[in-house]
A and B are shown apart, each in its own frame.
Chain A
Amino acid sequence: MYGMIHQALRDMALREITEAEWSDLLRRGGHARPVCIGLEYYSDETTMALMDLVARRLDLPVEEFLQAFGRLWIDFAGASAYGRILDMAGDDFVSFLQSLDRMHSSIRSNMPRADMPSFEVVAADARAIRLRYRSSREGLAPFVQGILAAAAERFDEKVTIRHAPEDGAVRFDILRAGPDD
C-alpha cells in the first residue's frame, strides 16, 4: 500500500515507542530508508509485515490492533492533505458512507497503483445501516470497523457495529442509537 499508510502506522506507534524503536521496526520490516514517503508504493507484503511488527511491539492481538489503527486512520487522513476531501464526503453518516467509493476513486486517480476497497450502502434507515465491503485483500474487516466507529463519532452518532462474511464480501450491520436511546 502507499506510504501514507506507513506514516499513519508510525503516528500510532510513536504514541508508545521511541523514534529509535520505530527505525528499528522499519529496518526489521525490510525498509532500506529510515522514512516512508507518502506517495511511494510499497508491496502489500511490506505493509502487512510492518503492521504485524507494530501490533506485536504494541502487544496487541491483530484484530484489536487493526481496529485501533482504523480509529486513528480518520484523524490521520483528516490532518493530512486529504483532510479536505474527507470534509467533502457528506454532512451525515449515510451520505458519508455513500461517498466512500467516489472518494477512493478520486484518490486512486492520483495514486494509480492503489488497490482500493469498495463500499456499498445496501440499506439505511434511522435505526440501522447495512454496508457491504469488498476488497481484494483479506482480514481487514476489523480495520474497517475501526474507521466506521471513528467516522460515526464525527457525525455525533453512537453506533454498535457487527460484521460477518457474505458472498465473498463482508457485511457490516451498523446499529444506530437514536437521540432518545
Chain B
Amino acid sequence: MIEGGPFPQATPAEGLELSPEELSTLFPAHLVLGADGVIIDAGPSLRRQCGPDLLGRCFFDCVTLERPAGVGCMDGLRAHRRALILRLEGEQSLRLRGLLLDRGERLWLMLGHIPDLQAEAGRQPLQIADFSPTDGTLDMMLAAEMRSGMLAETRALATALEEQRNKAEAANRAKSAFLTTMSHEIRTPMNAVLGVANILADTELTDEQRDWLDVMTASGHSLMELLNNILDLSKIEAGLMELRPEPFDLRELARSVHGLFAPAAAMKDIRMTLDFDLEGSVYVGDSLRVRQVLSNLVGNATKFTEAGQIAITIRDRVEEGRRLVELSVKDTGIGISAEAISRLFRAFTQADSSTTRRYGGTGLGLSISKSLVEQMGGDIRVQSRVGRGSTFTALIPLAMTEQADAVRPVPAAVPDPGGPLHALIVEDNATNRLILSHYLRRMGHSYDAANNGQQAIALWEEQEYDVIIMDIEMPVLDGLVATRELRRRERALGRRYTPIIALSADAMMQKRETALSVGMDSYLTKPVSLEEIEERIRTICAETSRQASG
C-alpha cells in the first residue's frame, strides 16, 4: 500500500465481501494456501479437474512455477507478489495465470485457465464453466476457431469458384469448337451455291431471273460474312487470333473503306466524308484487322443512319511516348441509349433485339472489333445520344514508319503471263471441281482434274502443268503431303517448277503458314470467286516466269 504518496488513497472496497458461491463463480480456478504451503481450498474448476485429492497436498509438489521461476517456498512466493503463471500437474496438466493476494497466514491465488489452443478437438479438458464470466479467454478461443472456420469457408468458396470457372471455360471452348466446325461445314456447300450462282450469271437470263440471282448471291455473301464473323469470334475467344503487323498505307486503307461504303450511303442521300489529320502515311500494324475494324464502324454507321451525314476522321497523336491512331466515325443515325451502350460490345447483343429485325445483322461485328482493337493494345469508345447520332472511336497504338517502300505492293496491274495455260485442278468435292473448271474455261485455259493428291501426282508424272490448284483437305493423299512429294520429285527429276495455289475452307493463319511451308505458293480461302482465282493465277505465274527467267 502506498502511504502519503501523491495519489489519493483508494477507498477500500467496503462491503464487497464475496459469498463462497460468488467467489467460486468469479474465480472458478482459485487456490488457497496455508502457512506451510498446503492447499487448503480450491475453486470448483480445479476440484473438478484434479479431483478431491488436491486438497491437503503441498502446493510446491504439484505445481511447476513458470513465473516466478524456480521459487520453492512460501517466502519466495510472498516476495514475488506479482503476476503468476503456473502448471498444475495431475491427470491433465492445466496451465493457469493470475494474481497472488497475501492475507497473512494464507495466500490466495486468484487464477484463470490458459487453454491449449493447439489441443485436438475432444482433448481439451476445459469447459465453459471453468472460466470466469469476466474472463475473455473463451471469446478468444472461439475467435481463433472462427478464424480457421472462415479460412476453410474461403478455401471452399475459392475451390468452387475455380471449378465453375473451369467448367465455364470448357463449355466456352466446346462452343468455339462447335462454331468453328459448323462454319466450315456450312462454308463448303455455300461455296458451291455461290460458285454455281456465278456460273448461272454467265448464262442467258431474263431480267427477272437475274434479279432473283442477285438476291441469291447477296444472301449467300451475307451468310458467308456471318460465318467469317463467327469464325473470327471463336478464334478470339479461343485465344487463337493472331496479328501480323507490317507496314501499310493508312491513308490508302481509309480511302478504300470510304470508297466501299460511300456509294451505299449516297443511295440513302447520306454524305460520307473522309478527313485526315495524320503526321505520316505508313504505319505498322495488322492492316487486315485495322481495315476490318474501320469497315465495321463505317458499315454500322451506314446501316443505322437514315439521313444526314457520316464523317470519317483519321488522326494520330503521341501519348505517353507511343503513337495512337484514332479512327473516328461520326453519324447522324438513330443513336444508342446509355443503358444499351453497356451491352453494345457483347457478342450476340445489339442495342436492342428489334434493331436486329429492322437493320439486320447479329451484332457480332462490334464485339469482334472491340476484341481486335484490345488485342492491338487499344480501345473503342462510344459517345451517343438517342435520335442525335453516335460517334465511335477506335484508338489503336500504331508506330509510324518512313520506309514507304516497305509497304506491301498492291497487286494492281499484274502482267499477263500471256497465252492460255494448262492447269491441274485437284479437288475431291465434285461441285467445287465443276466450279473451278468453269472458271478456268472462262479464262480460256485448259485443264485436267484429279480427285486427290495421288491422282494429281500420277497426272503430273505424265505431263507438264503451268499451274496446279490444289485443295488441302482431301482423302487418300491430302494437298500438303502431295505438294511436299511434288516438290521432292521436281528436284529429284530436275523438272520445271510448277506453281501451286492452295485452296482451303480453313481461314486460320496457321493453316496458311503450313501450306506455304510445304512448298505451296499461294493460299486462297474458299469460296473463291472467278476474279480472285484469275488474279492469283496471273500473279503466281508472272512471279514464277520472272524467277525462271531472272
- Partner of B139 from A38, A89, A110 at Cβ < 8 Å: A110
CB of B288, distance to nearest CB on chain A (Å) = 43
Residue in contact with B128 in the complex, picked from A82, A103, A109, A110, CB distance below 8 Å: A103
Report 28 cross-chain contacts, Cβ distance below 8 Å, ordered by A residue: A37-B153, A38-B153, A81-B148, A81-B149, A82-B145, A82-B149, A84-B121, A84-B124, A84-B145, A85-B128, A85-B138, A85-B145, A88-B126, A88-B127, A88-B128, A88-B138, A89-B127, A89-B128, A90-B129, A91-B127, A95-B127, A106-B128, A106-B138, A106-B139, A107-B142, A109-B142, A110-B139, A110-B142
B142–A106 CB distance below 8 A: yes
Q: Which chain B positions have C-beta within 8 A of A82?
A: 142, 145-146, 149
Known contacts A80-B149, A83-B121, A84-B121, A90 near B127 by CB under 8 Å: yes
Closest 9 CB pairs of A and B: A81-B149, A109-B139, A99-B128, A81-B145, A106-B138, A88-B127, A106-B139, A102-B128, A106-B142
Any B CB within 8 A of the CB of A87: yes
A 105-127 binary contact with B (CB < 8 Å = 1; else 0)? 01101100000000000000000
A32 → chain B closest CB, angstroms: 15
Task: For the complex formed, measure the closest distance between the CB of B511 and the CB atoms of chain A, giving whole angstroms.
Answer: 42
B142 contacts which of A37, A85, A91, A99 (Cβ < 8 Å)?
A85
Q: Mark A67-92, 1 if CB is under 8 A from B, else 0.
A: 00000000000001111110111110
Task: Give A contacts to B, CB under 8 Å.
Answer: 35, 37-39, 80-85, 87-91, 95, 98-99, 102-103, 106-107, 109-110
Instruction: Write out the residue numbers on chain B whose beta carbons fall within 8 Å of the beta carbon of A90.
Output: 127-129
User: How far, in Å, is A151 (CB) from chain B's closest CB?
Assistant: 14
Q: Is B143's beta carbon under 8 Å from chain A? A: yes
Q: How many residues of B contact A (CB 8 A)?
A: 23
Question: Secondary structure of the B side of the interface?
Answer: helix
Q: Which residues 118-138 of B have a CB within 8 angstroms of A?
A: 121-122, 124, 126-129, 133, 136, 138
B83 at interface, CB cutoff 8 A: no
Q: Which residues from chain A contact B136 at a C-beta distance below 8 Å?
A: 109
Q: Which residue of A lies closest to B154 (CB)?
A: A37
Which of B136, B146, B149 has its CB near the most chain A CB atoms (within 10 A)? B146
CB of B157 closer than 8 Å to a CB of A: yes
Besides the known contacts A99-B128, A102-B129, 17 further A-B residue pairs in the complex with CB atoms under 8 A apart: A39-B146, A81-B150, A81-B152, A82-B145, A82-B146, A84-B124, A85-B128, A88-B127, A88-B138, A90-B127, A99-B127, A102-B128, A106-B128, A107-B142, A109-B139, A110-B139, A110-B142
Q: Is B141 an interface residue (CB 8 A)?
A: yes
**Among the interface residues B126, B148, B153, which one has the most CB atoms of the partner chain A within 10 A?**
B153
Give the CA-CA distance A41 to B252 in the complex, in Å.
63
Distance of A23 from chain B, by nearest CB (Å): 12
* Contact of B129 (CB < 8 Å), options: A38, A39, A80, A95: A95
Q: How far in angstroms is the closest Cβ of chain B from A116?
A: 13
Cβ distance B43 to chain A, nearest Cβ, rounded Å? 16
Closest A residue to B153 by beta carbon equals A38
Across the interface, do B124 and A87 meet the contact criterion of CB distance under 8 Å?
A: yes
Q: Complex Cα distance A21/B158, Å? A: 22
Closest to A90 in B: B127
Chain B hits for A106, CB < 8 A: 128, 138-139, 142
Also in contact, A81 and B139, with CB within 8 A (given A87-B124, A88-B124, A95-B129): no
Q: Are B143 and A110 in contact (CB under 8 A)?
A: yes
Question: Which residues of chain B are near A38, meaning CB under 8 Å?
Answer: 149-150, 153
